[in-house]
Amino acid sequence: GTISRVGAENLAETFQFLLRLRLRQQLADLQAGETPSNLLTLDALSGMEQRHLKDALVNIRQMQDGIGAAFQTGMMR
């Protein structure tokens, strides 16, 4: 099985969004004189960003579930 074009595009957009959030947080950490981390402060995100983050995590979970199901199906043949 393969990932559909739409699935691949959604996953790429999800990755880019998460990477932007991570880099923005790391830049803020550096500007505050702190060691950059991979932890996001949810309160620092706008409402729209929080919804987008939730959608991104749902998208990742759906991809993981689909890949897991395809793998298990392939293993049973």
pLDDT per position as a tens digit, 19-75: 999 999 999 999 999 999 999 989 989 999 999 999 999 999 998 888 888 777 665
CA 15 – CA 66 distance, rounded (Å): 18
Q: What is the pLDDT of residue 29?
A: 94
CB contact at 8 A, 13 and 63: no
pLDDT surpassing 60 at residue 76? no
Number of other CB atoms surrounding residue 63 within 10 Å: 16
Q: Domain of 16?
A: 5-76
CA 23 – CA 13 distance, rounded (Å): 15
pLDDT surpassing 90 at residue 1? no
> In whole angstroms, what separates CA 64 from the centre of its chain?
12
- The residues, any chain, with a CB within 8 Å of residue 70's CB and separated by 6 or more, are 1
Tell me how many domains the chain contains.
1
